[in-house]
């Protein structure tokens, strides 16, 4: 069964919509929602590994296509067919883009399209029971085959994101330190040149002054 559905903008991880009734009968629903938000944050930083992802978490699995500008994610029981999960997300994507596509980039607050919950709930009901004739037909239809799904554990996915963040921070720190050392090296070189040529400049200045005074006296 479909347990959670959340939609977010990829560029910054901003939540755009979710199923409002989702998770009411779910133990630790808030923990799973926090994991989803962490996954969205990873995606906003470009940490996506395959065209479609299945991320296992406890008795459930997050299913989501690695997106364009919007990520459509659902959490299902592990036994729920991946084929139906991704078709459910495809139906959400088509309707969301049709209705809200022009405003996705300009949305400035979380859950700006919360009214889309009505369509989420209506569509979710169609996919809840895998034994209906409609869903059996989809499972048997090669048109709805899904390929290139990478299955990972949620700790692995979020851990990779954290490690990449650490590498990025270390790289930024090293770049900053390199610039600082380069500036110090230039200052030291400048001081060395001054120490080297200052006596010569002083001697030349004195000689020039003597010639100028001599010329004035004559």
Q: What is the per-residue pLDDT across 28-42, written as a single tens digit (0 to 9) for each?
A: 888 888 899 999 988
Per-residue pLDDT of 48-97, as tens digits, reads: 666 788 899 889 999 998 768 899 999 999 999 998 999 999 999 999 99
Mean per-residue pLDDT, 177-195? 65
pLDDT value, residue 144? 59
Q: Is the pTM of this model over 0.75?
A: no
Spell out the alpha helix ranges (H) of 79-153: 82-100, 117-128, 133-140
Distance CA 127, CA 140 (A): 15
Distance CA 162, CA 170 (A): 12
Number of H helices, E strands in the chain: 5, 6
Which residues on neighbouring strands pair with residue 101, listed in sequence order? Answer: none
215: which 2 tokens?
A: 């010329």
pLDDT value, residue 60? 93
């Amino acid at each position: 069964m479909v347990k959670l559905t959340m939609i977010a903008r990829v560029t910054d991880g901003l939540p755009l919509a979710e199923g409002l009734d989702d998770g009411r009968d779910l133990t630790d629903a808030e923990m799973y929602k926090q994991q989803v938000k962490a996954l969205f944050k990873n995606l906003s930083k470009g940490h996506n590994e395959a065209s479609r992802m299945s991320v296992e978490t406890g008795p459930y699995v997050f299913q989501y296509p690695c997106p364009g500008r919007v990520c459509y994610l659902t959490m299902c029981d592990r036994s729920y067919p991946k084929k139906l999960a991704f078709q459910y997300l495809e139906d959400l994507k088509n309707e969301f883009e049709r209705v809200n596509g022009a405003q996705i980039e300009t949305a400035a607050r979380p859950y700006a399209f919360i009214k889309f919950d009505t369509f989420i709930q209506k569509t979710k009901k169609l996919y809840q029971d895998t034994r209906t004739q409609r869903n059996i037909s989809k499972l048997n239809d090669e048109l709805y085959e899904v390929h290139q799904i990478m299955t990972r554990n949620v700790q692995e996915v979020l851990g990779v994101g954290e490690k990449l963040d650490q590498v990025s921070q270390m790289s930024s720190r090293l770049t900053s330190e390199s610039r600082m050392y380069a500036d110090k090296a230039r200052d030291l070189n400048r001081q060395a040149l001054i120490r080297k040529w200052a006596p010569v400049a002083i001697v030349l200045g004195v000689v020039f002054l003597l010639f100028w005074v001599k010329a004035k006296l004559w």
